């Protein structure tokens, strides 16, 4: 591969390995990896790829779960790694925003902002880079309070497909001067260009948290509980996550350092992680631990008695379990994972019906699900208990689950992980109309 001047390149197969392997074990082949350091260098790379008719895959933290951040197996694609894009880090404290190059990792952005008492409020179990987060519109565990990346992005700098650099939006929050073109690039996985810089909304760091693991008395009781909390504590509620017994069981087995908090270590069918939090506590405020205890005792008294048990604990310990679930389930065996989105009532109905259906038609698949009940996100993970998953079997299973989620329950087949080889098939099938309207919008533009 010819390399544009001044841009670091990796072509040695040994050194390329990390860029070719995804977190779910997918492995691609590549002609080479380019690592530009500036927006202009990204534009030069894109022009170089166009001139040499080389297709490329943009890669940031490479933590994506749909196989879209690694090249395919043809060996003809290049990788454009954005991990060295770190030229800009400019917090604007008065505006509570930051202009940042997209090669920074989330953890580094938040570590550097801590001295100003601010953070970028997307929370998840991996440590992606800002570019990948914008491209996939990351959700995460505190969506309920802060929304997704889309709701926290004010502006973008993008290198379009022809190498032109455009700046879309900016730190001004109120701006109604025309269509919000940056939205085309949020959650669209780099189809329309490579994102090199972002202007992001920041939030005050949380200084008080109260967290509990709650055992609901039934699946339906989870929603009763959620509605109760929203009515009683409103914006203090920052997370409402659920975890199935199977997911927790595999996670405790995988991560020896995790403490099993349940009485006698007996894991319940389902547990809810409930968090209240706030940035400041005024002297007259009741401590959040007391507020959480009070609202949970109220729930206990409701006619439907939605709670069977509640364990209060240190937030770090409870969140450690939640954040370890993804890897815990992965360690349990060959995995077929779905990232589904529903209206909140449908999450419960879908998992109940699908679990019954799978027990009958696919008894070798163990349902190890968990999710963000507060925002309708469901990580419907199926672990195969009798050996490897062959591609035909996987496709049949995927077709059934996705068809049910989308057609029967009106859900989404990609709630927060974006589009990639793992779900292209459904994108083509169900998004044909959307794709057509995108084309018309682009023609108008
Ligand atoms: C343990 C674990 C837990 C996770 N939990 C969550 C969760 O709770 N919520 C959630 O939403 N996701 C979750 N994820 C998925 C993943 O971390 C997110 O999708 C993340 O935002 C991907 O960012 P990345 O930097 O790793 O991007 P990558 O994986 O490198 O890329 C993802 C996609 O974006 C494209 N892309 C990357 N950078 C750019 C760019 N600069 N310009 C244009 N396109 C680009 C890539 O081509 C690819 O299509 C989890 C993953 C793991 C491993």
Handedness of CA 122, 123, 127, 128 (dihedral sign): negative
Task: State pTM to two decimals.
Answer: 0.94
DSSP 8-state secondary structure symbol assigned to residue 205: P
**What does the pLDDT look like over 307-322, one tens digit per residue?**
888 888 889 999 999 9
Residues 337, 389: Cα–Cα separation, whole Å: 12
| Cα(219) to centroid(ligand 1), Å | 30
**What does the pLDDT look like over 310-368, one tens digit per residue?**
888 889 999 999 999 999 999 999 999 999 999 999 999 999 999 999 999 999 999 99
Residue 154's pLDDT band (cuts 50, 70, 90): very high
| Cα(61) to centroid(ligand 1), Å | 7
Residue 445's pLDDT band (cuts 50, 70, 90): very low
Residues 65, 67: Cα–Cα separation, whole Å: 6
**What does the pLDDT look like over 215-240, one tens digit per residue?**
999 988 999 999 999 999 999 999 99
pLDDT value of residue 357: 97
pLDDT value of residue 437: 56
Q: 32-35 and 78-81 as β-strands: parallel, antiparallel, unpaired?
A: parallel
| Cα(215) to centroid(ligand 1), Å | 31
- Of all protein residues, the one whose alpha carbon is nearest to atom 38 of ligand 1 is 132
- Of all protein residues, the one whose alpha carbon is nearest to atom 27 of ligand 1 is 132
Atom of ligand 1 nearest to the CA of 125: 3
Atom of ligand 1 nearest to the CA of 415: 11
Atom of ligand 1 nearest to the CA of 133: 21
Atom of ligand 1 nearest to the CA of 141: 8
| Cα(161) to centroid(ligand 1), Å | 20
For Cα atoms 137, 395, 27, give the angle at the middle one, nearest 5 degrees: 60
Q: Which domains does the chain show, CATH number per domain?
A: 8-81 (3.30.43.10), 89-204 (3.30.465.10), 208-326 (3.30.70.2190), 333-433 (3.30.70.2740)
- Of all protein residues, the one whose alpha carbon is nearest to atom 3 of ligand 1 is 125
| Cα(176) to centroid(ligand 1), Å | 30
| Cα(340) to centroid(ligand 1), Å | 16
Instruction: Calculate what percentage of the chain has a pLDDT beyond 90.
Output: 86
Atom of ligand 1 nearest to the CA of 57: 47
Sheet architecture: strand order including 193-201:
89-92, 97-101, 193-201, 153-160, 165-169
Residue 18's nearest CA partner among 27, 8, 9 is: 27
**What does the pLDDT look like over 257-290, one tens digit per residue?**
998 999 899 999 999 999 999 998 888 999 999 9
User: Which helix (DSSP H) or strand (DSSP E) does residue 371 occupy?
Assistant: strand 370-372
| Cα(331) to centroid(ligand 1), Å | 20
| Cα(417) to centroid(ligand 1), Å | 7
As to burial, measured by CB atoms within 10 angstroms (0-12 exposed, 13-18 middle, 19+ buried), residue 280 is: exposed
CB-defined site of ligand 1, < 6 Å = 23, 57-65, 68-69, 82, 102, 124-126, 128-129, 131-133, 135-136, 138-140, 189-190, 194-195, 326-327, 416-418, 420
Detail the DSSP E strand segments found in 14-109.
32-35, 56-59, 78-81, 89-92, 97-101
Please provide the average confidence, as pLDDT, over all residues in the chain. Answer: 93
Residues 195, 46: Cα–Cα separation, whole Å: 12
Instruction: Report helix angle 391-403 to 344-361, nearest 10.
Output: 140
Residue 428's pLDDT band (cuts 50, 70, 90): confident
Both structure tokens of 388? 């490897």
User: Which of 64, 340, 378 to mutate for ligand 1's pocket (most ligand atoms within 8 Å of CB)?
Assistant: 64
Average pLDDT over residues 143-169: 97
Residues 58, 61: Cα–Cα separation, whole Å: 10
Residues 38, 151: Cα–Cα separation, whole Å: 26
| Cα(287) to centroid(ligand 1), Å | 36
Does pLDDT of 432 surpass 70? no
Exposure b/e, 115-150, CB count within 10 A at least 16 = b: eeebbbbbbbebebbbbbbbbbbbbbbbbbbbbbbe
**What does the pLDDT look like over 55-108, one tens digit per residue?**
999 999 999 999 999 999 999 999 999 999 999 999 999 999 999 999 999 999
pLDDT value of residue 433: 57
Average pLDDT over residues 42-54: 96
Task: Give the position of tokens 């109604």.
Answer: 176
User: Which of 132, 250, 323 to mutate for ligand 1's pocket (most ligand atoms within 8 Å of CB)?
Assistant: 132
| Cα(134) to centroid(ligand 1), Å | 8
Q: How many residues does the chain have?
A: 445
Does pLDDT of 11 surpass 90? yes
User: Which of 136, 157, 247, 371 to mutate for ligand 1's pocket (most ligand atoms within 8 Å of CB)?
Assistant: 136
pLDDT value of residue 441: 54
Tell me the H-state helices in 60-204: 106-113, 130-136, 143-146
Lowest mean pLDDT among 217-231, 357-371, 396-410, 428-442: 428-442
- Of all protein residues, the one whose alpha carbon is nearest to atom 44 of ligand 1 is 190
Average pLDDT over residues 184-202: 97
Both structure tokens of 193? 């260009």
Residues 65, 146: Cα–Cα separation, whole Å: 22
* Cβ–Cβ < 8 Å for 271, 243: yes
Helix (H, G, I), strand (E, B) or coil at 77: coil
């Amino acid at each position: 591969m010819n390399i544009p001047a001044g841009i670091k390149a990796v072509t040695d197969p040994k050194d390329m390995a990390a860029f070719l392997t995804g977190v779910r074990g997918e492995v691609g082949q590549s002609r080479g990896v380019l690592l530009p350091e500036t927006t202009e260098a990204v534009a030069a790379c894109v022009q170089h790829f166009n001139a040499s008719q080389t297709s490329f895959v943009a890669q940031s933290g490479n933590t994506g779960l749909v196989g879209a951040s690694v090249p395919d197996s043809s060996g003809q694609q290049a990788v454009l790694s954005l991990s060295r894009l770190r030229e800009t880090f400019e917090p604007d404290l008065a505006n509570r925003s930051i202009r940042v190059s997209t090669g920074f990792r989330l953890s580094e952005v938040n570590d550097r902002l801590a001295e100003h008492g601010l953070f970028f409020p997307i929370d998840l179990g991996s440590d992606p880079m800002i570019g990948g987060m914008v491209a996939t519109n990351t959700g995460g565990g505190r969506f309920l309070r802060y929304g997704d990346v889309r709701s926290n992005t004010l502006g973008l700098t993008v290198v379009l497909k022809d190498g032109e650099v455009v700046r879309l939006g900016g730190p001004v929050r109120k701006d109604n001067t025309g269509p919000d073109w940056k939205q085309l690039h949020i959650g669209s996985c780099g189809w329309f260009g490579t994102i090199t810089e972002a202007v992001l909304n920041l939030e005050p760091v949380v200084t008080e948290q109260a967290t509990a693991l709650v055992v609901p008395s039934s699946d339906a009781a989870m929603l009763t509980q959620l509605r109760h909390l929203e009515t009683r504590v409103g914006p203090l509620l920052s997370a409402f996550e659920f975890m199935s017994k199977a997911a927790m069981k595999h996670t405790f087995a995988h991560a020896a350092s995790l403490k099993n908090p349940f009485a006698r270590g007996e894991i319940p069918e389902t547990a809810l992680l409930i968090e209240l939090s706030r940035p400041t506590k005024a002297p007259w405020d009741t401590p959040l631990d007391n507020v959480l205890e009070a609202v949970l005792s109220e729930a206990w008294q409701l006619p439907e008695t939605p709670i069977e048990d509640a364990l209060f604990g240190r937030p770090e310990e409870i969140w450690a379990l939640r954040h370890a679930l993804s890897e815990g389930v992965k360690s349990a065996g060959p995995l077929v994972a779905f990232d589904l989105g529903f209206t909140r009532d449908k999450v419960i109905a879908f998992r109940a019906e699908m679990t019954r259906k799978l027990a009958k038609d696919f008894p070798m698949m163990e349902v190890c699900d968990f999710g963000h009940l507060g925002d309708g996100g469901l990580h419907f993970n199926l672990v195969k208990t009798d050996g490897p998953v062959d591609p035909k079997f996987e496709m049949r299973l995927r077709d059934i689950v996705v068809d049910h989620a989308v057609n029967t329950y009106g859900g989404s087949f990609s709630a927060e992980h974006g589009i990639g080889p793992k779900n292209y098939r459904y994108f083509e099938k169900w998004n044909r109309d959307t794709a057509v309207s995108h084309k018309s919008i682009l023609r108008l533009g």
